[in-house]
């Protein structure tokens, strides 16, 4: 309850009336605010969000203090942290845009493919390299033989091995990006649990973890070809 003490002339009835009205309004406002706070505290998702956010901040402070004292933190010793994975993912994205080579006879496909994927548009770098070497693919000509339209090179045009290699590099980077976001982004974790429940979140997390492990093993097999 909010109490207001004001020295006034008791003989002035108007002042007393204003004081009583002001006190009533403030009391009602205080009750409304208290009810809102109670509602938020009762909301379990809000409690989960606040708890996870605080734990995440405490963890980051603890890791930062370890790096300041020792030069490294326990996360770097026992497991890759999100900062290291972000660096690897960014390097892979860049590699996929810049590399012009691929392992000879490459067929260790990482990215799942649907039937007919060979006829889909080739990765940007592969299509660019093909056009520079062979020129544009003419899709249509007029009656005089002048080109009316050009066709973007397909995976089949530029080479299956080269296309698959670039697609797999980009896919590996995307899997790592998704793994980081799903495991280190507290907002996404809480939102997923709020929307689908803890069981569904765990199911998705387990599926993503398996794909991450498969991707990590693929990177290990091809580290010498990537070596950035």
Q: What is the pLDDT of residues 159-196, one digit of tens each?
A: 888 889 999 999 999 999 999 888 877 788 888 888 88
pLDDT of res. 177: 93
Report which listed range, 51-55, 68-72, 131-135, is most confident.
68-72
Cα–Cα distances in angstroms (integers) from residue 110 to residues 4, 85, 172, 177, 213, in the given order: 71, 18, 8, 16, 12
Confidence of residue 6 (pLDDT cuts 50, 70, 90): very low
pLDDT of res. 206: 93
Cα–Cα distances in angstroms (integers) from residue 78 to residues 66, 68, 154, in the given order: 14, 18, 43
pLDDT of res. 186: 74
The model's pTM is 0.61
Neighbouring CB atoms inside 10 A of 70's CB total 11
Which candidate, 129, 194, 137, 186, places its Cα nearest to that of 163? 129
pLDDT of res. 109: 93
pLDDT of 51 > 50? The answer is yes
Which residue would you say has higher pLDDT here, 30 or 215? Answer: 215
pLDDT of 53 > 80? The answer is no
Confidence of residue 7 (pLDDT cuts 50, 70, 90): very low
pLDDT of res. 218: 95
Confidence of residue 224 (pLDDT cuts 50, 70, 90): confident
The whole-angstrom separation of Cα 167 and Cα 118 is 12
Domain residue limits, the chain = 1-42, 45-79, 80-228
How high is the mean pLDDT of the chain?
75
pLDDT of res. 41: 42
Neighbouring CB atoms inside 10 A of 17's CB total 10
């Amino acid at each position: 309850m909010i109490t207001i003490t004001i020295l006034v002339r008791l003989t002035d009835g108007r002042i007393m009336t204003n004081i009583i009205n002001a006190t009533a309004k403030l009391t009602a406002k205080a009750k409304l605010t208290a009810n809102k706070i109670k509602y938020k505290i009762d909301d379990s998702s809000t409690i989960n969000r606040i708890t996870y956010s605080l734990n995440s901040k405490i963890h980051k402070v603890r890791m930062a203090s370890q790096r300041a004292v020792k030069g490294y933190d326990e996360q770097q010793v026992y497991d890759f942290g999100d900062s290291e994975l972000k660096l690897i993912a960014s390097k892979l994205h860049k590699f996929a845009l810049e590399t012009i080579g691929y392992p000879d006879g490459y067929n260790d496909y990482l990215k799942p493919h649907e039937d007919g994927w060979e006829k889909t548009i080739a990765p940007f770098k592969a299509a660019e390299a093909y056009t520079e070497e062979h020129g544009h693919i003419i899709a249509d000509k007029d009656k005089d033989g002048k080109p009316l339209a050009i066709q973007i090179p397909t995976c089949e045009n530029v080479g299956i091995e080269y296309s698959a290699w670039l697609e797999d590099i980009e896919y590996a980077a995307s899997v790592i990006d998704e793994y980081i976001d799903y495991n280190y982004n507290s907002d996404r974790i809480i939102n997923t649990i709020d929307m689908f429940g803890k069981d569904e979140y765990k199911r998705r997390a387990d599926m993503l973890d398996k794909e991450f492990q498969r991707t990590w093993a693929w990177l290990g097999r091809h580290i010498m070809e990537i070596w950035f």
